[in-house]
Amino acid sequence: MNVYDFDNTIYNGDSTFDFYLFCLKRNKNIIKAFPKLTKSFTKFYVLKKGNKTEFKENMYSFLKYIDTEKEVKEFWKTHLKNIKSWYFENQKEDDVIISASPEFLLKPICKILGINHLIASRVSPADGKYTGRNCHGKEKVRRFKEIYNEKIEEFYSDSYSDNPLALISKSPYMVKGNKLTRWDFNKAKK
């Protein structure tokens, strides 16, 4: 079983940010959520207060102003091209995508790609509220083990924040663009 992070790993970019910009261009009402987003960004990233889940919930508040299902469908029509070609060369039937991005955003692209196993952040597409923890770091391992009782053969990520998953993998790889290198556990400790 191979496991992949999604954003900046098999997808070229950050799908959540790209989706936000895509929706902003198509739905001017989203601007109503901008003051809340700005305040939340300043609190979390500048003042270092609050937590990432709280910040993301405030960011996702723009979902109240759109038809999320429709917009996600339209988004993947134009952003499928961002899936990196090396993934298609490695793809196996039992691949697992595990990501902090919202499940509602990744589920459709996984279906298009023929990926049957997805673990992602549970976020309401209606209002952006989390119905669980942000699927990040150690939470990815907890969620993986909750579902699978298997060792990860190969693991791919663009970030050392995924070191907890690398530690339970036989062959972890760091992804930078289209370049794959062996995971450097020494860099992960820094």
> How far is the CA of 125 from the CAs of 33, 101, 129, 142, 166, in angstroms?
15, 12, 8, 23, 30
DSSP code for 33: G
For the chain, give every domain's residue range. 2-11+83-189, 18-74
* Per-residue pLDDT, 33: 86
**pLDDT of 23-48, one tens digit each?**
999 999 898 888 888 888 899 889 99
Fold of 2-11+83-189: Rossmann fold (3.40.50)
Can you tell me the distance from the alpha carbon of 23 to that of 57, in angstroms, rounded to the nearest whole number?
16
pLDDT of 190 strictly over 70? no
> What is the per-residue pLDDT across 106-158, written as a single tens digit (0 to 9) for each?
999 999 999 999 999 999 999 999 998 899 999 999 999 999 988 899 999 99
What residues contact residue 38 under an 8 Å CB cut-off, 6+ apart? none
Predicted structure pTM score: 0.92
* Separation of alpha carbons 123 and 130, rounded Å: 4
